Structure 1
Amino acid sequence: MELDRHKLYELCVQSPPELVPQLVAIHGGTPRVLGEDFCGTAAISVEWTRHVDGGRAIAVDRDAESLARIQRCDAIEVVAGDVVGDTDATRHAADVIWAGNFSIGELHTRSDLLAYLGHTRSRLEPGGLFACDLYGGESAFLAGSSDVEHPLPDGSVVVYTWEQCRADPLTGRVRNAMHFEVRRDGVVEQSLRDAFTYDWRLWSVPELRDALVEVGFATIEIYARVPDAVDDAGTVYVQPLDAVDDSFDVIIAARVGR
């Protein structure tokens, strides 16, 4: 296969068919409109319009290369621009706003974080939900890498490597990278290093919770990155966490009042 970093990202990193039902379950009602901030190729928005009856999505990003890959349809409004400066509280209102793939870390200062969260709250409908993912714990500021293999139909394997290149616990800043290789019978046929690189501020759960309270969210809960259970009919069940492991990857969910 020809290495395309956006296709590899969707294959190896994202899981929209699992995430969308989980977001609906965390919301707990019948959400119709998703706001996908820092959307990239808007894979979550696309899945939302497929999964949610009458679902619509507002996909926001400022990366032209990623936006060019979006599967356009009438149910998805694409906003090419900044998640704060180029979205309107009324015109881009949503029932759920999702900032995934640790993109909350793109906000490097507390003032930027508060501005984003406050604007996000203003876009939410009564009873609406803001959710983002976050990693942390004892290994959060350790350099290192991990590999995950994804078999392909032609018998080859994509090896996805997540690398934390540098981390500074005094500033909370981390630099991460994604690499991809295609292997066949153990032989590397193609490789793509530094397919994506990130300079993030790794917010802690207490820091993020305090910021959410400060801008006026009514309740804040923490959920596992995967659902608690899925029944034979595909219904997803979730419960807030009371505790997390020493190293964790979680969803922070904040609600506005009704």
Structure 2
Amino acid sequence: MDTGLGMDFDKHDLYELCVQSPKHLAPLLRAIHGKDPRTLGEDFAGTAALSYEWCKRDGARAVAVDLDTEALGKHPDHPRVSKVVSDVRTVPDACDVLFVGNFSIGYLHTRAELVAYLKHARSRMNPGGVFVCDAYGGESAFLTGEVHRPHPMQGGYLCRYTWEQRHADPLTGMVTDVIHFRVEKAGVIEVEMFDAFVYEWRLWSVPELRDAMIEAGFARTEVFAKLADAWDDEGNAYVQPVVDAEDELDESFIVLVAGRA
């Protein structure tokens, strides 16, 4: 969206700024894998921001899959990032880590769809591979409401990000989640994007995801906190699976659920 002020605001750029953190996520996924994974599969990839970050390491490559041609075309081509406009259930490319982020596992609304997708994901795993998806849960999971966060931008701009859970049905597990952006400078609203992204999702619980992974053929499952336990001076992450949820997780939480091949 061109404001006429020399600053072009795009909802995908604002999404990357406010929602994603690939610089932290890429080493976290490597740590969850536990060895030296080379190939990342990024399903429901959007702009493929994680894939580009993953491939900053020498020898790494990535396969980013999404149905949204505009989003996948957001960034210039990269020789080791393969961008595929397709249904994620049809792509055969093998990988060491397959990641579904931003709660996109919720695009699969029925258990049959979930298990079928996870079977396909399992078929793509290289030996020792791991599938990882994020999920939110806890006491506020089915509450409606909004969360607001400010994000500073270049040029003195500020993006006010709003995450809204507009509808939630604990009997069906279906939720409507919405993202809004408002860009300001010196207190003046420059751009407002109401309903920039609207999601109709099935909110899968952690036990449901783990059970489905086992049914799909994964050997075992683990749950990790969204943040690494430790970092070293070279930017490598270190993680341990959650053992005691009551002790290690907040009352409302975001976690990474992993299935090992």
The answer on whether the counterparts of 1:134 and 1:250 sit within 8 Å (CA) in structure 2 is yes
Which letter does structure 2 place at the counterpart of 1:16? Answer: P
For structure 1, the residue ranges without an aligned partner over 5 or more in a row are none
Quote the Cα distance in structure 1 between the aligned partners of 2:31 and 2:59: 17
Which letter does structure 2 place at the counterpart of 1:245? Answer: D
Aligned residue number for residue 182 of structure 1: 183
Aligned residue number for residue 4 of structure 2: none
- 1:199 Cα deviation (Å)? 0.2
2:19 to 13, 19, 25: 13
Aligned residue number for residue 83 of structure 1: 88
Aligned residue number for residue 48 of structure 1: 54
2:258 to 248, 253, 256: 253
Aligned residue number for residue 213 of structure 1: 214
The answer on whether the counterparts of 1:104 and 1:132 sit within 8 Å (CA) in structure 2 is yes
Instruction: Tell me whether 1:232 sits opposite 2:233 in the alignment.
Output: yes
Instruction: Tell me whether 1:30 sits opposite 2:36 in the alignment.
Output: yes
Q: Percent identity?
A: 56
For structure 2, the residue ranges without an aligned partner over 5 or more in a row are 1-6
Aligned residue number for residue 141 of structure 1: 142
- 1:15 Cα deviation (Å)? 0.7
Post-superposition CA distance 1:137-189 (Å, at most 9, x none): 11001110111111122112111111001000000000011100112233322
Quote the Cα distance in structure 1 between the aligned partners of 2:79 and 2:232: 32
- 1:99 Cα deviation (Å)? 0.4
Q: Given the two structures, how large is their TM-score scaled by the length of structure 2?
A: 0.94
State how many pairs are aligned.
Answer: 251
Deviates more, 1:226-235 or 1:97-106: 226-235
Aligned residue number for residue 107 of structure 1: 108
Post-superposition CA distance 1:188-226 (Å, at most 9, x none): 222111111100000001111100011111121111111
Quote the Cα distance in structure 2 between the aligned partners of 1:253 and 1:3: 35
1:65 to 67, 70, 81: 70
The answer on whether the counterparts of 1:32 and 1:53 sit within 8 Å (CA) in structure 2 is no
Aligned residue number for residue 154 of structure 1: 155
Post-superposition CA distance 1:221-251 (Å, at most 9, x none): 1111111111223221111112122211000
Q: Given the two structures, how large is their TM-score scaled by the length of structure 1?
A: 0.95
Which letter does structure 2 place at the counterpart of 1:123? Answer: R
Aligned residue number for residue 201 of structure 1: 202
Post-superposition CA distance 1:7-37 (Å, at most 9, x none): 1111111111110000001100010000000
Deviates more, 1:217-226 or 1:181-190: 181-190
Aligned-residue CA RMSD (Å): 1.0
Please state whether the residue corresponding to 1:154 is helix, strand or coil: helix
Post-superposition CA distance 1:39-78 (Å, at most 9, x none): 011000000110x320010111111221221431120111
